[in-house]
Amino acid sequence: MKSSIIHMGVFSAATNVVMLVLPLYMLQVYDRVLPAANLDTLAYLTLLALLSLLLFGAIEIVRGVYASRLAARLDVSLGSSSFLAAMRGPRAGLGDVQALRDLTTVRSFIASRTVYLLFDLPFGPIFIGLLYFVHPWLFLVTMAGAVLLLFVAVLNQAASSWASRQAAEFLGTSMNSAQAFARNFETVRALGMVSNAIEFWGTRFSDSLRATDKVARINAFYGGISRTARSVLQIAILGVGAYLVLHSEMTAGMIFASSMLSARALQPLDQIIGSWRQIIEAKGAWKRLSAFQSKSGKEGVALPSPDGILGAEQVIYYLPGSADGAPPLIKRLTFEVPAGQVVAVVGPSQAGKSTLARLLVGAIEPRSGAIRVDGGDIRNWNPEELGRQFGYLPQDVELFPGTIAQNISRFEPDACDEKLIQAAQRAHVHELILGQRDGYSTMIGPTGVRLSGGERQRIGLARAFYGDPKILVLDEPNANLDSSGEAALERAITEARVRSTTVLVITHRPSLAAICDRILMLRNGQIEIYGLTSDVLGRLAEQRGQTRASKVSPSHDNEGVVPFPSPARAEG
């Protein structure tokens, strides 16, 4: 990137040097050709000027092509990391891909003519300095004009910066609302929410329009002042020049040469004021991109395939945006799952079960403590390598636009058919896929086949099994399954245990917990019971017996330990 900036600077220097031919041509024509009426000199000067302008045009074309290629190289170098930053962004779940929008903004700015102004700006003082050798008065007049334009630019920045940030914030809010409503339009229409959704979005979009209009009015106001100041300056240069000619302090040709030098010196500054909004947007986008890059962190190292011992050590997790003093959602969890064992995680709603699942697979990071695989902190792993060791089925299964095969293979470009079919068979979904219109090549997504909740969940389970992971984390894997689907799930988990795969399954169903080796019960983000299934079930049965013996009222009984709470889906 640094070398590209140097190259752009070289091209800009060449164009500005070549443009000196215009004031020199005017000076020679008025001071040498016209007094002597020498046509030969005029012809030679004109030919030389035309050749110089042809060179200028060629350099401008090269500079434009180079800027376009520089923008393309920026896409290549930052595209992947920006996409990753967009997926990791705080609003990624709403479809907000701010990092990619920022990359587009910076790329468009580099490919535009506005970027030339920034490279031409440093040559303004050089042209102003040349005026000193024509006459000091012309130098002072132009310097005063430059100071005035700079002052206008500062005022423009001060007046528009807050409004620009507000406009961007309002626009982002309105776009996020539109994406959320569009993504769930069937629900919006079924509930008769269309007009309400339009009003909700329209209110935020109107705020964005008002803020954008305010920025446009500010830029138009200061842009008008800038153009007026430049016109006044041109008149001042011509007037002062004429006065100096009348007093025989310079020649008539110098008037026009000085006017052209002054215009060339102040042109970039004047045009920058007119393009101020684009420059500010590009600056903000680049600042956010740089912040994304700095947060990318280390990639970790490639560690050997784990045995599958999964555990947590003093893990604390707060919800994003939690107020100061708010209690953590996960409170100092410490436990370990031996390799090859199946653990059922149960507990009431808001206990933190889904959050625990996301912590275990590295989707989110704890505030303190560590998630460990084979005793090592997962933050020391390369994220891609770690992901291949985990099979994860989230609570809300999301399949991506593509074929069923691509979704199961995690969009691996050179996915092996054998691995693909093996994963489907282990999830007992192979026959279901073959029953689709195009089998494994069936397209799903907005333009493809619409799958039921149970079908999505079973294909998501096959995706979790893909690549023979050592650890499976399944969040409510039977939430949308019928009896045959649940039986297939139980067989898949049992077979995974035979292969010495560690499985952690969040469930509300006693039948699924009964086939597990251990049960971990969460309540209010803390472990209430953790042990072998037989021991935990025996302890729960003993507690229920004691409760009946003491004849505790039903309202108090609900406050006791409940082994399998009602299957409420909402969870922090």
433 part of a folded domain: yes
Q: What is the DSSP string of 479-532?
A: TT--HHHHHHHHHHHHHHHHTT-EEEEE-S-HHHHHTSSEEEEEETTEEEEEEE
209 part of a folded domain: yes
Domain final position from 294, 320, 345: 294
User: pLDDT at position 570, please?
Assistant: 38
User: pLDDT at position 54, please?
Assistant: 93
Closest by CA to 342, choosing from 488, 496, 564, 201, is: 496
pLDDT at residue 87 tops 70: no
State the total domains in the chain: 2
pLDDT at residue 134 tops 70: yes
pLDDT at residue 294 tops 70: no
303 part of a folded domain: no
pLDDT digits (tens, 9 = 90+) for 36-62: 888 888 898 899 989 988 998 898 888
**Of 107-111, 521-525, 550-554, where does mean pLDDT reach its minimum?**
550-554
Sole residue written with tokens 């300056």: 233
**Claim to verify: residue 153 and residue 290 sit in the same structural domain:** yes
Q: Confidence band (pLDDT; 50, 70, 90) for 462?
A: very high
**Claim to verify: residue 551 and residue 438 sit in the same structural domain:** yes
CATH of the domain at 342: 3.40.50.300
- Average pLDDT value over all residues in the chain: 82
Domain final position from 239, 272, 294: 294
268 part of a folded domain: yes
* pTM for this model (two decimals): 0.65
**Claim to verify: residue 287 and residue 368 sit in the same structural domain:** no
**Claim to verify: residue 162 and residue 277 sit in the same structural domain:** yes
pLDDT digits (tens, 9 = 90+) for 530-572: 999 888 888 877 777 776 666 545 544 444 444 444 333 334 4
**Claim to verify: residue 277 and residue 375 sit in the same structural domain:** no
Handedness of CA 117, 123, 219, 292 (dihedral sign): positive
231 part of a folded domain: yes
**Claim to verify: residue 259 and residue 362 sit in the same structural domain:** no
Domain final position from 294, 316, 350: 294
Q: What number of other Cβ atoms are within 10 A of residue 230's Cβ? A: 21
pLDDT at residue 394 tops 80: yes
Higher pLDDT, 236 or 100: 236
> Quick one: DSSP state of residue 363?
S
**Claim to verify: residue 468 and residue 346 sit in the same structural domain:** yes
458 part of a folded domain: yes
566 part of a folded domain: no
Q: Give the domain extent around 21.
A: 2-294
> Quick one: DSSP state of residue 314?
E
Bridge partners, residue 343, by sequence: 504, 518
**Claim to verify: residue 226 and residue 337 sit in the same structural domain:** no
DSSP tally for the chain: helices H, then strands E = 22, 12
Which amino acid is residue 88, in one-letter code?
R
**Claim to verify: residue 224 and residue 119 sit in the same structural domain:** yes
247 part of a folded domain: yes
**Claim to verify: residue 271 and residue 365 sit in the same structural domain:** no
CATH of the domain at 45: 1.20.1560.10
**Claim to verify: residue 280 and residue 337 sit in the same structural domain:** no
